Amino acid sequence: MMTNREGCTIYEKIVDPQTRSAAYVRHRVGALFVEDERGIGTGADRASSDEVFLSIPAASSSYLPKKDDRVALYITDAAEPPKDALTITYIGDFRHGSAAVQHIEVTAR
């Protein structure tokens, strides 16, 4: 599977049972394919519809992201998501069929 980045960091959003607030678990992902998608809405407000598409080969990660997890498009050791981290809006699990094409598709804003 084609890749164009060395890796990224996904922050799994969980609820801390003691404080009942959001907490994050860091997951490192190996080589992946990233594509920036730029767009603008056609409505009166002309809102931005920019997104980032990630294709993660099944061999690069054992973690399946969830909606509302955060993703930094680089590898970091930070315990909390950095300011430039994006929020995951879509996950497609394609870990079936030939091992050469098994992957996870993620869209984030």
Output the DSSP codes for 20-44: -SEEEEEEEE-SBEEEEE--B-SST
Residue 43 binned pLDDT confidence (cut-offs 50, 70, 90) = confident
Provide the token pair at 48: 């931005």
User: Domain segments of the chain: what residues?
Assistant: 8-108
pLDDT of residue 48: 72
pLDDT per residue as tens digits for the range 51-103? 999 999 999 999 999 999 999 999 999 999 999 999 999 999 999 999 899 99
pLDDT of residue 3: 92
